[in-house]
């Protein structure tokens, strides 16, 4: 489930109108950040309702990730005027979703220097399927989605260099390969197919995985 929200229509009263709580860590943020948080949580409640599930408050966990109801799994994302929620009525799944507006200028330079390694930058320039700035934005979004999906199993933060794009995306799918072993069950070389959709000024990526327990100490 994804959509667009108008920041100009945001007011603090909307939290009460939607029966949502603005947590202390968000209440002191800039208005645009509060609006993004509100839109994401409202989208999450709508997704749970669509699944026929109760839609309680979804608090922020100690690692900043949303704490989903026990009978569900999900992922929330927002960027500027866009937000999305990927949810399922089955806690045995782990989901990731990310939306990003098309990067240009300094934002594009930052993505290329921080997100992409030398091989990925060469591929972005060499391939002809997508304009380079679109593929760079898509790569950044796909790696964010992969992190969200894997983090509950890895249980530690890992960087953009842990996954690599080696081939040009096709048919709405981008394949990332792990460049190092993240934990038992996620070895170096394992690949993940990230689904994506490209709109006029933004990209949306998502991934669903069966969850497993990482018992490493």
Q: Which three-class secondary structure state does DSSP give residue 40?
A: helix
Q: Tell me whether residue 148 is annotated as binding.
A: yes
Hey, what are 67's tokens? 């704490």
Q: Are 141 and 82 in contact (CB under 8 A)?
A: no
Neighbouring-strand partners of residue 82: 4, 79
* Nearest C-alpha neighbor of 39 from the set 74, 97, 80, 100: 80
57/32 Cα distance (integer angstroms): 21
Residue 98 among known ligand-binding residues? yes
Is 33 marked within a binding site?
yes
> Is 71 labelled as part of a ligand binding site?
no
Alpha carbon distance 12, 22 (integer Å): 9
Within 10 Å of residue 44's Cβ, how many Cβ atoms? 26
**144 in a labelled binding site:** yes
Supply φ then ψ for residue 171, to 5 degrees.
55, 40
Record the tokens describing residue 113, joined without a space: 């220097």
Are 72 and 89 contacting, i.e. CB atoms less than 8 angstroms apart? yes
| Owner of token pair 């072993």 | 181
| CB neighbour list of residue 86: distance below 8 Å, 6 or more residues apart | 1, 47, 74, 75, 95, 96, 97, 206, 208
Residue from 148, 48, 139 nearest 94 by CA: 148
Detail the residues annotated as belonging to a binding site for Mg(2+): 98, 100
Binding-site positions for CoA: 33, 41, 77-78, 98, 144, 148
Question: Annotated binding site, which residues?
Answer: 33, 41, 77-78, 98, 100, 144, 148
């Amino acid at each position: 489930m994804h959509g667009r929200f108008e920041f100009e229509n945001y007011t603090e009263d909307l939290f009460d109108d939607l029966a949502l709580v603005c947590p202390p860590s968000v209440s002191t943020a800039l208005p645009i950040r509060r609006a993004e948080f509100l839109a994401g949580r409202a989208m999450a409640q709508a997704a749970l309702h669509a699944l026929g599930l109760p839609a309680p408050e979804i608090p922020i966990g100690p690692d900043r990730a949303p704490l989903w109801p026990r009978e569900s799994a999900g992922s929330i994302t927002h960027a500027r005027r866009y937000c999305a929620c990927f949810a399922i009525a089955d806690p045995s799944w782990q989901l990731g979703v990310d939306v990003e507006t098309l990067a240009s200028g300094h934002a594009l330079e930052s993505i290329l220097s921080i997100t992409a390694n030398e091989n990925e930058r060469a591929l972005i320039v060499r391939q002809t399927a997508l304009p380079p700035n679109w593929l760079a934005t898509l790569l950044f979004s796909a790696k964010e989605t992969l992190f969200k999906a894997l983090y509950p199993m890895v249980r530690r933060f890992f960087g953009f260099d842990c996954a690599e794009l080696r081939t040009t995306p096709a048919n709405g799918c981008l394949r990332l390969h792990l460049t190092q072993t993240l934990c038992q069950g996620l070895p170096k070389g394992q690949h993940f197919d990230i689904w994506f959709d490209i709109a006029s000024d933004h990209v949306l990526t998502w991934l669903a995985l069966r969850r497993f327990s990482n018992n490493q100490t």
